[in-house]
Structure 1
Amino acid sequence: MRNNSFFKIILIAITVVFFTSCDKDFNTIGGDLIGNEHFGLVNSNYNVISYNQKIGPIQSNNLPVNALGVYEDAVFGTTEASFATQVILSPSNPVSVNPVIGKNPVIESVILNIPYFSTVTKTDPTSGESTYRLDSIYGPEKSKIKLSVYESGYFMRDLDPLTGFLEPQKFYTDQADDFNNLIASARLNNDTDVSQNDAFFFNPDERKETTTVDEKETVTRFAPAMRLFLNKDYFKTKIIDAAKKIDGTDPGKLTTNDVFKNFFRGLYFKVEKSGSNIGQMAMMNFKGGTITIKYKEDSSATEGERVEKSIVLNLTGNTVNLLSNTNATDYTNATNPSVIDTISGDTKLYLKGGEGAMAVLNLFGKTDVRGYDEDGKPTVGSNNVPDELDDLRNPTDKKKLLINEANLIFHVDGAVMGTNKLPNRMYLYDLKNHRPILDYVADGAGLLVYGGVLNATKVDDKTYKFRITNHIRNLINNKDSTNVKLGVVVTADINNSAMNILRLPLKEGTTLTRAPQASVMSPMGVVLHGGTANVPEDKRLKLEIYYTKPN
C-alpha cells in the first residue's frame, strides 16, 4: 500500500512538471505552429520607415554564376553584362599542361563550349530527340545580341598588393574600361555565321553529332550550350607554337599554369546591343566551359600516318562580371540621394539586382517619434508620443506579451510594374552587421518559413512576406538587444548569404560598405509600396504581430 501511494505521488509530481514545462515553452512552440488562422490571438500593425538606397559599383569577381547579355526593362532601364575569365590548361582528360607537339601540326577546329542551365520538357520516344527550356534567361526568346570574344590583356592577379598580398584581389562591376583598354587580339569568334557574333542568341535547341564506325552510325545528343568556333590561326600561334616540340625545343609558355596564365591572360566576352534587337540575358556557369583545340600531327610510330590530338583549356581561375547600366528616369530619380527620405520614408521602393538598389527598413519608426539610427540607438524626437518598441517591451499592465508570429509584408506596386517579370524571391538581412537575421538562421531547407517568396495568387495584389518572429521576440524579450536597420534586396539564390564589398570611393549618397552577393547575381528588379501615410492602407508596408497576453 505504501509503495502504491509513493508511486502515485511521483506520478502526480511528474505530471505537474510536464505541464509546467509545456507552459514555459508556449511562446516558442506556439509560434512555429501558427498558420493563416490566428484564433484567440491579438493582432497589431506597427510602423516601418522604409527608403531607397543605391548600391553602386560592387565586387563581382568569382561569382557562382554570371550574367551575360542585354536585359531591357521598361521600369529600370537597360543592363549590358560582359564577362572576363582566366583560362587554364586542363589538368586531366586530356592532360594539357606542358603538352608535347609532334611534327607538322595542323589545327582542325577550336571550339568554345559553355553549357546553359536547361530543363528537358519533352522527349520523342521514336527519335530520342529532346526539347529543352532554357532556365535563367531574361528577355524575348532568341532576341539577338552582339557578342565579341577577345584575348584579354588584363592580368587578374590572385592577391591584392595593397594588403601586402594577404587578401584576395577584388574586381568590380564598373571595370569594363580596364578590359576594353587592354584587349589583346582581334575578335576570336569571327566565323562568317553571324549567329556566332553580330547576331548571337541563346539557342535552346538540342545539338547532335553523328559518327560512323565500321559503317555503323552513332548519334550523340547534347543539351543546349554556347558553342562558338574560334579563330584557328590565332590558336595555332598562341597555343601550338608556344608549346614544347618533339624535337626538344620549348618556348616555355605552357610548362605550368602559373606561367600560362601570365602568357595567355584570359578571355573577355564583350556584349553590346545588336541593331534594334531588345536582346536577351542569361545566367551562366562559365566554370563549366571549355575550349577544345583539335589538331593533327605526324605519327611518331608510323611514317606517313596522321594522328588526332587535342588540348583542352578550362574557363576557371579568376573571373569578373562587368555591368553597364542605362537607367530609366523614374528609377534614377527615386534613388537620387537628394530625394531619398530617410526620416519619413519613401512612397515607392526600388529594388534592383546587379549594380542596383535596395530598401532600408527601420522597424517601429514614426515620423513624429524617435526612430533608430544605424547603430540601433534611439534618435531624438517628440517625447509626448510613446515609442512602439518600448510599449512592447514595457506594457502598461506589466504583463509580458507572448509573441506568436511576426510578419513583414511587402506589396508590389502593380501600376508601376505592369506586366514586367517579377523576381521570385527577396532577401531580408541585418544591415548593420551584414548577416542573416535569426529567422533565416533558424529555418530549414528552402527557408520557406522565413519566406521572401513571391505570392502572385492575387493578380491585383502580389506580395512578398517575411516571417521575422524570432527577430521580434529577441527585440522585445532581450531589452539590451539592438533594433538594427534591416536591408532587403532581390536575390538569385536564397541559400547564399555571402556579402560583397562596394568599390571605394563610395558613390555620393551611398553609406553601405557591403551588399549581398546573391543580389549582384540577379538582373531582376521590383517596385514595392513603402510604409508612408499616402500609400493606401491595404497596400502599405507593415509589420504585423500576433500575440497573446497572459491572464
Structure 2
Amino acid sequence: MKTYKFALRTLSLLSVLTLSFVACEQDFASIDSDIINPDTATNFETDNTPYSVITYTDALGPVQTDNLAINFLGVYDDPNYGETIGNIVTQLRPTTLSPDFGSGAMLESVVITIPYFSRTTGFDDNNRPSYKLDSIYPYSEDDTYSSIKLSIYESNYFLRDFDPNSSFGDVQNYFSNGALSENEMISVADLQFEPIDIIDELEISNDAIVLNSGEDNETIQPPAIRLEYTDPSSDAFQFWQTKILGLPQNANELSNSNNFNNYFRGIFFKAESVSSGQGSLIGLNLSSDNANITLTYSQDPEEEGDERPQNTYVLRFNGNRINLLNNNFTNPITDGDPNNGDSKLFLKGGQGAVAKIKLFNGDEQEFENFKTTYANYDNETDAFVSYRRLINEANLIFYVDEAIVRGEEPSRIFIYDTENNLPLADYFLDLTIANTPIFSKPNHLGILERTENDFSSNGIKYKFKITEHLKRLIENSSTNVTLGLAVSGNVNLEEIIPQRNVLGQPEIQVPVSSVINPRGTILYGSNATDPEKRVQLEIFYTCLSSDEDCQ
C-alpha cells in the first residue's frame, strides 16, 4: 500500500507543478501586454488591426482508424449531432509460441481484461486506491455511466500488414467504416463469424479490481472491463477450450505469429445501446500490459494423487486493430462555401468534419499588401530586409454558437497547416506540456472559455495565438497556406504522430487527436450574421521608426 501512497503523492506534486507552470505562462503574457501599449510606450507607437479571413466547413468521409492510441467502444449520443457507435476489431498475439500444455490439459478459467483510462484520486477505507475514469462520453462528474450491450465474436477477416496494391510495400490503411480502400470492405459476416459471448448489460465502474481479496497475495488493478468465464458448460468457455487447448500438442497453428494470425484472425467487439437514446462511449487502453485474454489451465500431475498444477496462456491485443465508427446523425454535416465562407462552422471528431481557414481571404494581393505593410523587402530578390511594424501578438478567436450548442463540446480544438499536414510554428514554441493534455499548449491553442469554471458548463470561445506563424510568412516569404481547424482529444499527440488519411479524399489528412475525440461543436464562421461573432485575424503591433505611415 505504501507504493500506492507514494505514487499518489508524486502525481499530486506533478499536477501542482504543471498547473503552476501554466499559470506562470499566463501571468507572463499579461505582464508583457502591460509593458508595451499605447499608454506606456514612449519611443514606439502601438496599435491593432483586424484582417478578414474566410472560414468554411469541410465534411469528412471515413477516417483512418487503425492502431490508434485509444479505441472507443460503445454508444454516444452527441447533443449537437446525434449518435455515434464505436466497435473494435483486433488481432491477438500469444505471449508464448509453441506452448507445451502438458498431458491432460484442462481449461479452468478465461479472463478478458481491457483497462479504462483512469487516474488515482485517493484511498478508500480499506486503504485501496480510488479512481476517476477518463475518456468516457458523455462526461459524468460522479462516474455514473449508462450500461451498454456488448457482443463478442471471432472475426474471420485477415487483417494484413501491407497493402498488396502498393508497389512500395506501404502498410495497409483501415478506415472507420470498415473499408481498406474505395473498392474493398470488411463484411459483417466476416466480423461476426462465430459468436463467443453476449453481455446484455455491461456496467461501467470506477472501482478498483481486487484479486485474491483479503489474502497475502492480494493484488489491485485499475478499473477495467473484466469478463471471467469459469463454467465449463457455457458457450464462451467451450469456445476457448476448443480454439486453443483443443489443438494437438505442437500444433503448427501456435508455432509462430503468422500461423496463429491465419488460424485465429481476430476478435470483434460489437456495442449496442441497452435502451434508445442512452449509452456510453468508452475509451479503452488496449495497448496496456493489463489488456489481455488469460487462459488458466491445469495439467496432469507428475505423481498420481497430487494436485493438478496450473499454468496460464496469455493473448494480448498487440496486432492490427481497427476502430469502426457508425454515425447516425440527426444533424447531417455538409461541405461549406470555400469562396464566400460560412455563417457557421461544424466541427465533429471521428468521422465528422473539420473547418478550413484562409487568412487574408486567401487573396494573394491582400497577402502581399499585408507583408509590405509590416516589412521591407529587397526590390530585386524580394527577400526580407527589415520590419516596419513589429508583431507583438496575432490571434484568431472563434465563438461558440451558444444558441445551438447544447453542451458536451470539446475543451480543445486544434489549428494546423493543411498543405503540409503539420502543426504551426507556434505549437512547437509553446513548451507547456502537461500530463493531463487538456492543459497542454494553452498559449497557442487556447482552452475553451466557459460560462463557469467547470467542464460541464457551456462554452463561449476559443482563442489561438498564431504570432510566430505570421512572422515566418513575413520573414521567409512562405506560402499563405490554408489552415485547418479540428476537434482535439489530446493536443500532445500532434507533435509525434502523423496525421490520418480520409477515404476518397486524398487531398485531405486530419489530425490524429481529432480521430480520437467523438465530440462536436458549432462555431460562428467568417460570414456570421452577427458581425461581433465573426472570425477575424487580429494583429497587435508596435510601430517602428522606419514606418513613416504608422499612426
Scaled to the shorter chain, the TM-score interval is 0.7 to 0.9
Out of 369, 372, 397, the position equivalent to 1:391 is: 369
In structure 2, the partner of 1:490 is 487
Contact 1:243-1:254 at 8 Å conserved across structures: no
Out of 341, 345, 350, the position equivalent to 2:337 is: 341
> How do 1:12-411 and structure 2 match up within 5 A?
34-35=32-33, 39-40=37-38, 41-90=46-95, 96-124=96-124, 126-139=125-138, 141-164=144-167, 166-175=169-178, 178-183=186-191, 185-190=193-198, 197-210=199-212, 219-229=218-228, 231-242=236-247, 244=249, 250-276=250-276, 278-288=278-288, 289-301=291-303, 304-329=306-331, 332=332, 335-337=333-335, 340-365=336-361, 371-372=362-363, 378=364, 387-395=365-373, 400-411=388-399
In structure 2, the partner of 1:469 is 467
Contact 1:500-1:517 at 8 Å conserved across structures: yes
Contact 1:201-1:280 at 8 Å conserved across structures: no
Label 1:170 to 1:362 Cα distance change in 2 as closer, same or farther (>3 A): same
> How do 1:434-453 and structure 2 match up within 5 A?
434-446=421-433, 447-453=441-447
Match status 1:481 vs 2:478: yes
Label 1:512 to 1:305 Cα distance change in 2 as closer, same or farther (>3 A): same
Q: Distance in 2 between matches of 1:211 and 1:411?
A: 52
Contact 1:38-1:546 at 8 Å conserved across structures: no
Match status 1:542 vs 2:521: no
Structure 1 position 36, deviation (Å): 7.0
Q: Distance in 2 between matches of 1:258 and 1:77?
A: 41
Amino acid at match of 2:318: T
Please identify, of 73-82 and 38-47, the stretch whose mean Cα deviation from structure 2 is larger. 38-47
Q: Distance in 2 between matches of 1:188 and 1:322?
A: 19
TM-score w.r.t. length of structure 1 = 0.80
Structure 1 position 533, deviation (Å): 5.2
Label 1:38 to 1:132 Cα distance change in 2 as closer, same or farther (>3 A): same
Label 1:218 to 1:161 Cα distance change in 2 as closer, same or farther (>3 A): closer
Contact 1:360-1:486 at 8 Å conserved across structures: yes
TM-score w.r.t. length of structure 2 = 0.80
Label 1:545 to 1:184 Cα distance change in 2 as closer, same or farther (>3 A): closer
SS for the counterpart of 1:162 is coil
Q: Distance in 1 between matches of 2:458 and 2:242?
A: 61
Q: Distance in 2 between matches of 1:81 and 1:548?
A: 51
Q: What residue ranges of structure 2 are gaps of 5+ in the alignment?
A: 1-27, 39-45, 180-184, 230-235, 377-386, 434-440, 546-551
Q: Distance in 2 between matches of 1:461 and 1:89?
A: 46
In structure 1, the partner of 2:513 is 518
Q: Distance in 1 between matches of 2:213 and 2:118?
A: 25
SS for the counterpart of 2:262 is helix
How many percent identity over aligned positions?
35
Q: Distance in 2 between matches of 1:322 and 1:224?
A: 24
* Aligned-pair Cα RMSD in Å: 2.5
Label 1:201 to 1:277 Cα distance change in 2 as closer, same or farther (>3 A): farther
Structure 1 position 116, deviation (Å): 1.1
Label 1:356 to 1:243 Cα distance change in 2 as closer, same or farther (>3 A): farther
Please identify, of 399-408 and 291-300, the stretch whose mean Cα deviation from structure 2 is larger. 399-408
> Any idea what the Cα deviations from partners look like across 1:164-192, whole Å, max 9, x if unmatched?
361111111011772522146543234xx
Contact 1:179-1:268 at 8 Å conserved across structures: no
In structure 2, the partner of 1:12 is none
Label 1:49 to 1:319 Cα distance change in 2 as closer, same or farther (>3 A): same
Please identify, of 34-43 and 280-289, the stretch whose mean Cα deviation from structure 2 is larger. 34-43
Q: Distance in 1 between matches of 2:421 and 2:301?
A: 60
Q: Distance in 1 between matches of 2:80 and 2:398?
A: 18
SS for the counterpart of 1:262 is helix
> Any idea what the Cα deviations from partners look like across 1:242-262, whole Å, max 9, x if unmatched?
252xxxxx3311011221111
Contact 1:347-1:535 at 8 Å conserved across structures: no
> Any idea what the Cα deviations from partners look like across 1:486-518, whole Å, max 9, x if unmatched?
0010111212222111113x4xxxx74311111
Contact 2:374-2:389 at 8 Å conserved across structures: no
Aligned length: 470
Structure 1 position 38, deviation (Å): 5.2
Task: State the structure with more CA Rg.
Answer: 1
Q: Distance in 1 between matches of 2:355 and 2:177?
A: 22
Label 1:150 to 1:37 Cα distance change in 2 as closer, same or farther (>3 A): farther
Structure 1 position 461, deviation (Å): 6.4
